[in-house]
Amino acid sequence: MNMSKLTRDDLYSLEKYAEVRPDFRARVMAHKKNRKLPLGPNATLYFEDALTMQYQIQEMLRIERIFEAAGIQEELDAYNPLIPDGSNWKATFMLEYTDVDERRAALEQLIGIEDKVWVQVADFGKVYAIADEDMEREDEAKTSTVHFMRFELTPEMARAVKEGGSVSAGIDHPAFTIAVEPIPATVRDALAADLA
């Protein structure tokens, strides 16, 4: 599967998916391991691609028992924008706090964090996330625990990554500053595959 968007032809029928789900799920979980980047103990970037989105769609169709063409197309339309276009990386950013009170306090302090998440290729400048293009995910009181992000790379940056250049990532928010320099090679290699 390449970086092109998913179509109905890429999806299993509900019946077929029930048959292949255990093996497909195992393959996706193994694939996702190299696409997960913790940014400290409470924040994680989950880099998406066609396979992770196919899994998401298949699971939604399964749970909701959707088999009509219009319903399937709705899911495709919802998740296809999260597949990288060859010049960018797309990720689900999650703020993860198990304690409810700690989470509430953190989300109040972290307003705007989604615009302060960055990636950096080799010696190029930082690329800040373009966040939540689908909908606003915070209000005046707090940010959301989930944000969808796009990191748009220049052709020079993409070339550097494909040639083995290092990648770093982090957050520059006054209440949450962290840098992972460089990110693990396994994650870097998975991200290189997202670039045209």
Percent of the chain's residues with pLDDT above 70: 95
pLDDT class of 141 with cuts at 50, 70, 90: confident
Q: What is the mean pLDDT of residues 188-193?
A: 96
> Tens of pLDDT along 160-171?
999 999 999 999
Identify the residue whose tokens are 């103990």.
41
Q: Out of 131-135, 144-148, 181-185, pick the least confident.
A: 131-135
pLDDT class of 138 with cuts at 50, 70, 90: low
> Tens of pLDDT along 118-130?
999 999 999 999 9
**What does the alpha-carbon distance between residue 4 and residue 80 come to, in Å, rounded to a whole number?**
9
How much is the pLDDT for 144? Answer: 87
**CA count, 13 A, side-chain hemisphere, 180:** 21
User: What tokens were used for 14?
Assistant: 């509900």
Phi, psi of 54 (to 5 degrees): -60, -45
Residue-wise burial string across 121-148, b where 16 or more C-beta atoms lie within 10 A, e elsewhere = beeeeebbbebbeeeeebeeebbbbebb
Q: What is the mean pLDDT of residues 143-167?
A: 95
**Which residue type does 96 have?**
E
Q: What is the DSSP string of the chain?
A: --SSPP-GGGSPPHHHHHHHHHHHHHHHHHHHHTTEEE-SSSEEEEEE-HHHHHHHHHHHHHHHT--SHHHHHHHHHHHGGGS--SSEEEEEEEE--SSHHHHHHHHHHTTTGGGSEEEEETTSPEEE-EE-SSS----SS---SEEEEEEEPPHHHHHHHHTT--EEEEEEETTEEEEESSPPHHHHHHHHTT--
| pLDDT beyond 80 at 140 | no
How much is the pLDDT for 133? Answer: 80
Q: What is the mean pLDDT of residues 15-29?
A: 97
How much is the pLDDT for 1? Answer: 41
> Tens of pLDDT along 31-48?
999 999 999 999 999 999
Structural domains of the chain, with CATH:
1-33+50-82 (no CATH), 35-48+84-196 (2.60.40)
